[in-house]
Structure 1
Amino acid sequence: MADQSIPQARSTREAGTGVQGPVQALAPAGISRRRLLGTAGATGLVLGAAGAATGYAAAPSGATPLTSLGTGQAMFHGKHQPGITDPMQSCGHLVAFDLAAGAGRKEATALLRRWSDTARRLMAGDPAGSDDTDVARDAGPSSLTVTFGFGHGFFGRTGLEKQRPTALDPLPDFSSDRLDKARSNGDLWVQIGANDALVAFHALRAIQKDARSAARVRWQMNGFNRSPGATAHPMTARNLMGQVDGTRNPKPADADFDERIFVPGPGEGDPAWMANGSYAVVRRIRMLLDDWEKLSARAQEDVIGRRKSDGAPLSGGGETTEMDLEKTDDTGTLAVPVNAHARITRPDQNGGAAMLRRPFSYHDGYDADGVPDAGLLFICWQADPLRGFVPVQRKLDRGDALSEFIRHEASGLFAVPGGAAEGEYVGQRLLES
């Protein structure tokens, strides 16, 4: 939870990723979404398993004036799909679909064509199509990303069982699971993120309408993060427990980043169509905030293994200082408790297990007793979940101090293919194989 976050925003389009950073121009009143881009210069935990398994700060590279948020644009076409290495957005929707009765490969192919065209249009700041709802008529693209993945059941429904990756085998059971099957898994998964709530909703509505008779919504979850520019300087995000969350996420600049996060090409268990793709583990993790907030700040820090004020390890230093697992105080007590979340989830304590966390917080109201239904929509990316998510979660099952204050309520695993080239749709190499 406390040891990961997301990539820095970049100000120019990156080779192979199709990412273009925020543009700092302002749009005159009444300007169209397409015109807005031209005017702006558009050329141009685990809570549970993610904790300290990997990390790096999710803040944008510079404080962005709120008046310029709408001009940020991510590219649809590229080596990888958008929404993986892009900076974390302030609004998000996760939605899973099941193919409708009688729908198969033909219907799925047509659906992915529609979805890809809609995503490309909306990410460029254009209307969705002829029946656009105009919800985001006055807004720029607002760093919108739309990402598509396939669940385990998709392959049987489309007659593509031989193309199903071994890494997509169902996740094992964990002792901390209290999973609602109705809100878990699904044939298809869509991740939507944007820095404007209306832009994010507009994309969600367009994707749902495009499903038509081919697929039906299985579940949907809504999330949020701090808005870019809300702090005096860029900093790692905080979760709803108030903890700095994301210090040790892998960085795209790391020499082994692609090896850990993306599938390089055909290999053991990985079919050719997954080249440059990744695997997303999605977990709805409820935080038991009433219990957590009864703890003193010091007790909370002992649970996590990091200072609440700045995210520094309890062994001393600043947020990014390497944690000293052997350091003790004057009484011989370990500075970082043996069951602290950040200790247990360190990559060097889990065979080097690594994943890129890109979560959203959520709040779905209160129950009859006034208990908040709030927590983390945990999303982690890795080249192989059996070497990334699974070993860390198993380790957490055996004695993480944080487990007393969280509950895993929904889960999904999805194969996310590589990005679509110009003229392609997402999943084309699978569906036309």
Structure 2
Amino acid sequence: MIILNFIYCFVELNTLFILCNIFIDKKYGDLINGFTISLFSIINFLITQIYPNTLGTIFLVLFATIMCFILFQYKIKEIIFLSFIFFIVVGIISTITINIISLTSGLSSHELLNNSLIYLFGGIFNKLIPLVLVFSIRKYRKNNEIIEIQNIIIFFSLIIFLFIIIVAQYSLVLTIRDEKSRILSLLISLLLIIIFTIIVVILSKYNNLQKNSLTSQYNNNILALYKDYEINLIRNREELIMIKHDLKHHDQLFKTLILEKHYDKAISSINQLIEKTNSISSTVFSNNIVLDSIINNFITEYLNIKFTININTSLSLLDELDTCILFSNLLSNAAHSALKSDKKIIELIVLENENFYVIEVINSMEFEFIDINITSKRKNSNHGYGLKNIYSIIHKFKGNYHIDQTNHLFSFKILFPKGSIQNEKN
């Protein structure tokens, strides 16, 4: 019997883990994580069998806390949050379940507590809720991006609705004595489940279509931005060629004016040439046309921000579109933050060593965040997609990043292994 219970726990938790991945992450989970959470389920079962009361719940939460700390490396505040949510949610659901079935079936709470089906429902939810929370927060920490809350709401709505149907069906089974009525109630419950599932699928597809539309719109904006960068760069280079051509004529003019001692006219001509040259914001930082164009455009657009550029590589292994998306978003976020600060400074560092490309953007900030993963521009949907695009490029080239803040300076550092970029291009 104990072996059968172990198998039940293993299958149950793997099924729930796969459901979480399907609805939240849109892909199937790996067996290692499923096996890990199944072990948690088995120990959960043993604890609840040995201590089936409040003491067992306390032991279970302590065990879950240790698992979170060892396996998922959460911070203390995240462990406290998980434990608190575990206590509250499980307690609320258990209380509501017992009272609903007690009122609809006419049985006392004491009788229900001794019923094995209630233990079954309670056991499923005791595992499902912390599993979803652990998986969601773990996904957040891994990708450092906002979880798609719509998918989680749809997932919880489906589970809660199915749970209500099961509770109602169980209540009817307890009160209805006629066999035909029981079968009819069962068929009605199944029909409701099918209808609700269809509605959820339709809503999910509509949500995905809306998301794809926003993503496509943002990508079109990025392409338009890249086109503008290229046009500006071509125009600036044409102006430089014209100035270079005019310098030959100015050279002869300067010599003539100086020889004839028309010093005022010579100084005036020199000043005009300098003014014309300064109007062209095409400074070469990296010999990468796209990167130089992006930097020059930001320097021109944000004249009240002091830019410091330190680049010793052309980042030739990154293609043009990835370069445009990565640096335009990094500098855009930095500029919006720096504008609100007193110092108004941005420093861009792009270095290359034997094994890595190092990209770091440092900007001044108005105030320091309590949680550096939270942005103050949540209402701007494009900003959210900008962050997602940064993280997707980091993930694409198997890079790592580090976020830091000190003395009202915000730092976003990225490390790209050279081998991963070369493999991706090949």
Q: Which has the higher helix share?
A: 2
**Between Structure 1 and Structure 2, whose CA radius of gyration is higher?**
2
Please classify the TM superposition score into its range, dividing by the shorter chain length: under 0.3
| TM-score normalized by the length of structure 1 | 0.21
| TM-score normalized by the length of structure 2 | 0.21
| Highest RCO, 1 vs 2 (Cα 8 Å, sep ≥ 6) | 1
